[in-house]
Amino acid sequence: MYVTSDSGGGPRTGPPPEALRALRDAVAAAASGGEAPPSPLPALGLDALAITDGEGRDVVRLGVRPANGNPVAKRRLDAGAARFDLALAPAVGEEVGGPIALVLETLLYRPRDGEAPSDFAEGWRRMGIVTSDASMQEAYRRLLRFAPQNLTVLVLGESGSGKEAVARAVHNLSPRSSGPFVSVNVSAIPAALLESELFGHARGAFTGADRDRRGLLEEASGGTLFFDEIGDLGPPLQAKLLRALQERELRRVGENRSRAVDIRVVSATSRDLAKEVEAGRFREDLYYRLHVAVIALPPLRDRGRDALLLARHYLDRYAKEFSRDPLRLTPEAQAILLAHPWPGNVRELQNAICQAAALAERGGAVSADLLPVSVRRDGRPANAGGDYRSRVAAHRRRLVREALERSGGNRTRAARDLGVSRQALLYLMKELGVVSLRRR
């Protein structure tokens, strides 16, 4: 029996965590056909380990069982929808076999078919947004409350986090859904052209204006106008936009008469508009005109296992688009996707999966080497946050802590949130040194 110390200094029985981490890495490499790391079996007191599926086919086989006839410990692995049998040689007690089984169940876990998603996850799916993480629940609640009312909505979130998809959902769930949805990316239009694009112009208003032209505000009348990156709007146009929103009318460039418009405005920004106001770069009165009903989207790195959910979604899409057989992610690729901070959020992940699917063999696995270099190196210098193992451990630790916080310390609900068994969560808490929260 192994005796180690937990983070509180007390004795704890079972294999050392570093040996179990090495076992997980070795099994992941063997299951995906990757290069085998040094054998972790001696550190666990084992000569051989074998995992077979429900039909008796080998999934992983490590080490060689001696011919001396030592007994073998066998047990069933409960990995969600998947069922596996584990054999350990020589036979070991529960204090060793139990933690090994929990590690392998967590690694091999597959979601059960037919599991009813939570209401918010299913609601997002109907709007074309893939998520199951509880961090998206509050945004969904606000969306359902705000959309049917004639409120000005501000969507906050990093670039690539899905702000336009949320703006479209606001429009589609509103009484204006039969009207136009017009999107304008403020940062993508040169400042010299933006006024004409937004407000339109009269014939002869400037060189090249050979006809009257409606602007985007008029195009959106009766529907919704979405301003993407509203924080990039220059001061002169901020004043003109404020007047149009207050008076519900506008003047085309080069015209003296006003035209009535009936629009609902949804804005989005990755900037901190309050700080922009303090710095004098954004009008305070326009800020309060736009900052009415706020929907904040968390970055992908704070959405738990959504990175894997989205990766599989895009992998299926691109496999069909490229006329490929179904593709799957290797465990190493999954670990890298979970460890990467995704500064470009969902857009960056989609591009990464598109490249990987294009490079993958027909019907093959998407291995880590098919992912972009920027994703494989976690987007940081090697010495910025420790080595690969420590970064993955830090990410896993944060996921467990956040799940416990969301559940108010209820371990059963936290385990369900993470997609693991309660026993697996308890082991992860010990392995990662996560202190249990007081249940509320």
- How confident is the model over 164-222, as pLDDT tens digits? 999 999 999 998 988 999 999 998 888 778 888 888 877 766 666 667 788 899 999 99
Q: Which residue has the tokens 């736009």?
A: 290
Report the side by side order of strands in the sheet with 58-63.
58-63, 48-53, 82-89, 73-79
Measured distance CA(195)–CA(361) in Å, rounded? 49
What is the arithmetic mean of pLDDT over 44-73?
Answer: 83
**256 contact partners, CB below 8 Å, separation of at least 6:** none
Q: Which of 376, 393, 419 is the last residue of a domain?
A: 376
The domain of 106 spans 1-113
Cα-flanking dihedrals φ and ψ of residue 221, to 5°? -60, 130
Say what the pLDDT of residue 164 is.
93
Domain check: are 48 and 77 in the same one? yes
User: Which residue, of 262, 296, 330, is where some domain finishes?
Assistant: 296
pTM above 0.85, yes or no: no
Q: Is residue 73 part of a domain?
A: yes
Q: Do 241 and 138 share a domain, yes or no?
A: yes
| Beta pairing class for 249-250 and 259-260 | antiparallel
- What are the C-alpha distances in Å from 353 to residues 56, 328, 357, 370? 33, 11, 6, 9
pLDDT at 439 > cutoff 60: no
pLDDT band per the 50, 70, 90 thresholds, residue 14: low
Residue 102 has pLDDT above 80, yes or no: no
Inside any domain, residue 417: no
Query: Does residue 192 form part of some domain?
Result: yes
Same domain, yes or no: 79 and 215 = no
Q: What is the spatial distance between Cα 138 and Cα 313, in angstroms, rounded to a whole number?
A: 23
Summarize pLDDT for 326-354 with one digit per residue, the tens: 888 888 888 888 888 899 999 999 999 99
Domain at 363, CATH number:
1.10.8.60
Residues 151 and 261 in one domain: yes
Contact 69, 404 (CB under 8 A): no
Residues 140 and 163 in one domain: yes
272 and 155 within one domain: yes
Residues 208 and 283 in one domain: yes
Are residue 244 and residue 263 in the same domain, yes or no? yes
Asked if residue 100 belongs to a domain, the reply is yes
Does residue 215 lie within any of the structural domains?
yes
Provide the token pair at 279. 């710095």
User: Is 396 domain-assigned?
Assistant: no
Q: What one-letter code names the amino acid at 217?
A: L
Q: Do 184 and 52 fall within a single domain?
A: no
What percentage of the chain has pLDDT greater than the value 90? 27
CA distance 51 to 77: 9
Mean of pLDDT over the chain = 82
Each residue's pLDDT tens digit, 302-317 = 888 899 999 999 999 9
Same domain, 246 and 332: no
| Residue finishing a domain among 325, 360, 376 | 376
CATH number for position 202:
3.40.50.300
Q: What is the pLDDT of residue 34?
A: 61
**Which pLDDT band holds residue 79 (cuts at 50, 70, 90)?**
confident
Phi, psi dihedrals of residue 225, rounded to the nearest 5°? -110, 125
Q: How confident is the model at residue 389 (pLDDT cuts 50, 70, 90)?
A: low
Residue by residue, DSSP assigns 254-322 as: T--S-EE---EEEEEESS-HHHHHHTTSS-HHHHHHH-SEEEEPPPGGGSTTHHHHHHHHHHHHHHHHT
Domain shared by 289 and 311, yes or no? no
Give the residue among 385, 283, 392 at the shortest CA–CA distance from 337.
392
Number of domains in the chain: 3
Q: Of the given ranges (174-183, 233-242, 413-422), which has the lowest mean pLDDT?
A: 413-422
Q: Mean pLDDT: which of 19-23, 207-211, 245-249, 386-390 is highest?
A: 245-249
Instruction: Indicate if 362 and 261 belong to the same structural domain.
Output: no
Nearest CA-CA partner of 14 in 41, 42, 44: 44
Q: What is the pLDDT of residue 348?
A: 94
395, part of any domain: no
φ, ψ of residue 317 in degrees (nearest 5)? -65, -45
Q: What is the mean pLDDT of residues 270-274?
A: 90
What is the model's pLDDT at position 207?
A: 67
- Residue 329, in any domain of the structure: yes
d(CA 74, CA 51): 10
